[in-house]
Amino acid sequence: MRLLARREYSAAELRAKLAGRGCGQEAAEAALEALRRDGWQSDSRYAESMTRGRALRGYGPLSVRQRLRQAGIDDAAALTEADIDWRAALAAAYKKKYGDTTPDSREEYARRGRFLQGRGFAVEQIRDFLDRLKKHKNEG
């Protein structure tokens, strides 16, 4: 209970923590079932919290999906339930790192694309965003 008072945990994470503290598998499953029944543990609540938190910190859907898989969560359902504007999240991550500047060379364009890709955004999203940024610069 103390663990869940600080932050959400997935069932798989709690199972691993209980096993690490010497709790048997049957006892751990019984404890997890009781926590779920009483509303203390919910994988969907954990997934939504994780998705929102990662998106607000500038991470994309691919990064979030990987984190959810590591936590033993069905990532597809979590990403659709969270209702996050990934284009806005990509723009915010870009702006935080680079401000309002646009890439002035192919190398810089590629460097910025790799940064965003490393943050978990899809190549198509990145290309679309950088092309719109470049087009906006040329118009203005």
List phi, psi (to 5°) of 113. -65, -40
Residue 68 lies in a domain: no
19: domain CATH number is 1.10.10.10
Where are the strands (E) in the chain, listed by range?
none
Structure letter (DSSP) for residue 77: H
- Give CA torsion, residues 74, 76, 78, 82, to 10 deg: 170
Q: Give a yes or no: residue 77 inside a domain.
A: no
Please state, in angstroms and rounded to a whole number, the distance separating the CA atoms of residues 82 and 91. Answer: 18
For the chain, how many structural domains are there in total? Answer: 2
Comparing CA positions, the residue from 94, 111, 102, 100 lying closest to residue 131 is 102
Per-residue model confidence (pLDDT) at position 36: 92
Please check whether residue 119 lies inside any domain of the structure: yes
For residues 18 and 34, is the Cβ–Cβ distance under 8 A? Answer: no
Output phi, psi for 57, to 5 deg: -90, 10
CA distance 5 to 107: 47
pLDDT, mean of each 10-residue run, the chain (140 residues)? 80 90 91 92 89 93 92 76 88 95 92 98 96 81
* Domain assignment of residue 135, yes or no: yes
Q: Is residue 9 part of a domain?
A: yes
- Note whether residue 115 is domain-resident: yes
Can you give the residue range of the structural domain that contains 124? Answer: 86-139
Q: What was the pLDDT predicted at 3? A: 72
In a domain, 60, yes or no: no
